[in-house]
């Protein structure tokens, strides 16, 4: 059974859930610090399902941060906890004050230490999945290779994080044939991109697949499993705001286009 088929049979969305406008794959355009300095070079991706999220930061050569966490929302701020990550400390302890306009998501640190701008990446409406990895076992030897981590799928965007001493993390984009173009990775050359081989189990879902030539079994709990999510670029606007934009479109929108 594919993960899409599993979603069609069993729709799951956590309660409580983060806002729909935070769900999807975002790339950071910039982070500006209170010192006046701005970083636009570090490649940072954030994939978010109903509560589960994956975070990838690739900056200077050899400098990598990646992990999976649970997100909670209090009405204006999001906080990330229960990390399975390469870095064994909470480098970003503040909650984020979030607001989104169009495909631009702005995150303020309540302390004033920084502000980040994120952009929703291109998506076709499709699968939204967040699975928390319990463990990954070598089916021939019975050895548990990884504990903790997760699998996130946001339309064409897919992230796999596997915890333990042999920590592995990868983010890629599915093409129309189902192949994955790897964008960022740490650890194993082949993280096991397959979205097939799933079956139901007591904990949630179990997956049998081959990784680096070895047959493995992964067990997951389910955070989010929706067969079709829209990933909209647009956000709500008041009637007065819409009227103003339409009235000024000949100057304001003449050179405007989606930016990712």
- Report the CATH number at residue 46: 2.40.128.280
**pLDDT tier for residue 48 given thresholds of 50, 70 and 90:** very high
Contact between residue 89 and residue 108 where contact means Cβ atoms under 8 Å apart? no
Q: Are residues 131 and 178 in the same domain?
A: yes
Say if 246 falls within a structural domain: no
Long-range CB pairs of 16-19 (<8 Å, 24+ gap) are 16/51, 16/72, 16/73, 17/50, 17/51, 17/73, 18/48, 18/50, 18/51, 18/71, 18/72, 18/73, 18/78, 19/73, 19/98
| CA dist., res. 76 & res. 65, Å (int) | 26
What percent of the chain clears pLDDT 70, i.e. is strictly above it? 100
Phi, psi of 232 (to 5 degrees): -70, 145
Residue 62 pLDDT > 90: no
* Cα 202 versus chain centre, distance: 25
**Does 55 or 61 have the greater pLDDT score?**
55
The mean pLDDT of 184-193, rounded to a whole number, is 88
Domain hosting residue 36, numbered range: 17-122
Q: Are residues 61 and 136 in the same domain?
A: no
- For residue 188, the model assigns a pLDDT of 79
Q: Are residues 36 and 133 in the same domain?
A: no
Say if 247 falls within a structural domain: no
Q: Which of 122, 151, 168 is the last residue of a domain?
A: 122
- For residue 137, the model assigns a pLDDT of 97
Q: Are residues 60 and 95 in the same domain?
A: yes
The pLDDT tens digits of the residues spanning 2-45 come to 999 999 988 999 999 999 999 999 999 999 999 999 999 999 99
pTM of the model: 0.94
| CA dist., res. 237 & res. 37, Å (int) | 32
The mean pLDDT of 155-163, rounded to a whole number, is 97
Q: What's the chain look like in SS3?
A: CCHHHHHHHCCECCCCCCCHHHCEEEEEEEEEECCCCEECCCEEEEEECCCEEEEEEECCCCCEEEEEEEEEECCCEEEEEEEEECCCCCCCCCCEEEEEECCEEEEECCCCCEEEEEEECCCCCEEEEEEEEEEEEECCCCCEEEECEEEEEECCEEEEEECCCCCEEEEEEECCCCCEEEEEEECCCCCCCCCCCEEECCCCEEEEEEECCEEEEEEEEEEEEEEEECCCCCCCCCHHHHHHHHHCHHHHCCCCCCCC
Residue 61 pLDDT > 80: no
Count up the domains in the chain and report the number: 2
**pLDDT tier for residue 60 given thresholds of 50, 70 and 90:** confident
**Does 251 or 134 have the greater pLDDT score?**
134
Q: Angle 68-73-75 (CA atoms, 0-180°, nearest 5)? A: 160
Say if 258 falls within a structural domain: no
Residue 136 pLDDT > 80: yes
Q: Which of 107, 122, 137 is the last residue of a domain?
A: 122
Give the chain's mean pLDDT. 94
- For residue 190, the model assigns a pLDDT of 87
The mean pLDDT of 131-137, rounded to a whole number, is 98
Say if 254 falls within a structural domain: no
Q: Are residues 129 and 224 in the same domain?
A: yes
Q: How many CA atoms lie within 13 A of 103 on its CB side?
A: 18
The pLDDT tens digits of the residues spanning 207-258 come to 999 998 899 999 999 999 999 999 999 999 999 999 998 988 888 888 888 8
Q: Could you tell me the CA-to-CA distances from 59 to 69, 93, 191 in Å, in that order?
A: 20, 20, 21
Q: What are the residues facing 72 on neighbouring strands?
A: 79
| CA dist., res. 207 & res. 160, Å (int) | 13
Q: Are residues 81 and 103 in the same domain?
A: yes
**pLDDT tier for residue 130 given thresholds of 50, 70 and 90:** very high
**pLDDT tier for residue 193 given thresholds of 50, 70 and 90:** very high
- For residue 240, the model assigns a pLDDT of 93
**pLDDT tier for residue 90 given thresholds of 50, 70 and 90:** confident
**pLDDT tier for residue 55 given thresholds of 50, 70 and 90:** very high
């Amino acid at each position: 059974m594919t993960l899409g088929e599993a979603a069609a049979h069993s729709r799951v969305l956590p309660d409580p859930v983060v806002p729909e406008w935070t769900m999807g794959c975002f790339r950071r355009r910039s982070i500006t610090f209170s010192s006046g300095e701005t970083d636009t070079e570090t490649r940072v991706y954030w994939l978010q399902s109903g509560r589960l999220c994956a975070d990838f930061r690739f900056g200077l050569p050899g400098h990598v941060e990646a992990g999976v966490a649970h997100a909670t929302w209090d009405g204006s701020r999001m906080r990330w906890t229960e990390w399975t990550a390469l870095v064994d400390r909470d480098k970003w302890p503040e909650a984020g004050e979030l607001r989104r306009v169009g495909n631009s998501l702005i995150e303020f640190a309540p302390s004033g230490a920084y502000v980040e701008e994120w952009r929703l990446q291109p998506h076709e409406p499709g699968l939204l999945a967040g699975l928390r990895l319990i463990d990954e076992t070598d089916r021939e030897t019975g050895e548990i290779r990884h504990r903790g981590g997760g699998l996130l799928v946001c339309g064409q965007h897919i992230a796999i994080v596997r915890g333990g001493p042999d920590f592995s993390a990868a983010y890629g984009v599915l093409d129309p044939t189902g192949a994955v173009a790897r964008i960022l990775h740490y650890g194993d050359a082949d993280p096991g991109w397959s979205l097939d081989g799933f079956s139901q189990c007591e904990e949630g879902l179990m997956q049998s697949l081959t990784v680096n030539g070895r047959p493995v079994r992964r067990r997951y709990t389910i955070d989010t499993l929706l067969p079709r999510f829209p990933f909209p670029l647009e956000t709500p606007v008041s009637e007065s705001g819409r009227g103003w934009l339409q009235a000024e479109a000949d100057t304001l929108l003449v050179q405007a286009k989606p930016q990712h």
